[in-house]
């Protein structure tokens, strides 16, 4: 693939902005994203997620270079041979999760998540949740801090920190992971086919209020949340051939 027209975005940190100025001097960058063959992102994973959400509908491939901290979704920064790196990059397709919610006030909201959809207790009292898969109740009542549904790309983020499984890319699997479960105490979560629909009902939502979070979007006081993969949206991330996202996810499973 040949990427000739580059649109570049940088985070508002000094390190990212300096990288942008350096690249602007060395390469011809377009000021119009709609004319771009590729979007170049300079920053960290948080900034990358913002860019993915903002430009998802355009369908333009996105290539990131790490000017943040962890940079799990980014390639290493180097201002040399950028055009060659872009043309040799390996695409990785990601699909977001769709979150549909209804609050205790009857309001409905929709949001997309690239990493995960989380339900979290709002107060000192544990959340009380009913969990259904494809319309069948699997857990009639779970007492916990919350629960989340993670994509493979997000499985090494919040999902991993609450002891959820790391999921290889391309496996067509989602992770359903409890957050500090009290009852059922020994339930550690489940792996689901990507086309399953997860429905979570909040039991006694006024006494035990729960918020639902899709990446950056938080809806408070929900009583019903439905989560499913949205294959009508396709995100194409580009990675250097010797440092692919798939390899990084595999490597995470061997870190002590």
Q: 201-216 pLDDT, tens per residue?
A: 999 999 999 999 999 9
Is position 51 within any domain? Answer: yes
Tell me: do 207 and 115 sit in the same domain: yes
- Quote the CA–CA distance of 144 and 146 in Å, as a whole number: 5
| 135-173 confidence digits (pLDDT tens) | 999 999 999 999 999 999 999 999 999 999 999 888 999
Which residue segment(s) compose the domain that 199 sits in?
A: 97-229
Q: Between the CA of residue 248 and those of 65, 76, 164, 254, what are the distances in Å?
A: 15, 13, 17, 10
pLDDT for residue 256:
62
Tell me: do 83 and 145 sit in the same domain: no
pLDDT for residue 4:
86
Tell me: do 206 and 171 sit in the same domain: yes
How many structural domains is the chain composed of?
2
8 A C-beta contact, residue 38 and residue 29? no
Is position 1 within any domain? Answer: no
- Quote the CA–CA distance of 184 and 188 in Å, as a whole number: 9
* CATH code: domain of residue 18: 3.40.50.10330
Burial class (CB in 10 A: 0-12, 13-18, 19+), 12: exposed
| 72-85 confidence digits (pLDDT tens) | 899 999 999 999 99
Query: Average pLDDT over the chain, rounded to whole?
Result: 94
Please determine, for residue 109, whether its predicted confidence score (pLDDT) is greater than 90: yes
- The residues assigned a catalytic role are 45
- 3-class state of residue 244 by DSSP: coil
Least confident of 168-177, 192-201, 206-215, 237-246: 237-246
């Amino acid at each position: 693939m040949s990427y000739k027209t580059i649109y570049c975005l940088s985070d508002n940190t000094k390190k990212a902005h300096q990288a942008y100025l350096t690249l602007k001097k060395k390469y011809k960058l377009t000021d119009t994203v709609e004319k771009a063959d590729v979007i170049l992102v300079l920053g960290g994973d948080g900034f990358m997620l913002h860019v993915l959400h903002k430009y998802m509908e355009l369908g333009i491939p996105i290539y990131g270079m790490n000017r943040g901290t962890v940079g799990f979704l980014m390639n290493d920064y180097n201002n040399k041979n950028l055009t060659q790196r872009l043309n040799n990059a390996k695409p990785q397709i990601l699909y977001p999760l769709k979150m549909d919610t209804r609050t205790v006030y009857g309001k409905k909201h929709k949001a997309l998540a690239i990493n995960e959809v989380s339900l979290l207790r709002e107060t000192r009292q544990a959340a009380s949740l009913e969990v259904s898969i494809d319309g069948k109740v699997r857990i009639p009542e779970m007492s916990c801090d919350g629960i989340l549904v993670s994509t493979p790309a997000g499985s090494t983020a919040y999902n991993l920190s609450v002891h959820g499984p790391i999921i290889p890319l391309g496996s067509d699997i989602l992770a359903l992971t409890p957050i500090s479960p009290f009852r059922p105490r020994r339930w550690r979560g489940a792996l689901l086919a990507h086309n399953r629909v997860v429905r979570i009902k909040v039991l006694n939502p006024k006494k035990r209020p729960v918020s639902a979070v899709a990446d950056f979007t938080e809806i408070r006081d929900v009583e019903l949340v439905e989560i499913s993969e949205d294959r009508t949206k396709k995100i194409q991330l580009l990675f250097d051939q010797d440092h692919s996202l798939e390899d990084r996810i595999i490597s995470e499973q061997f870190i002590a």
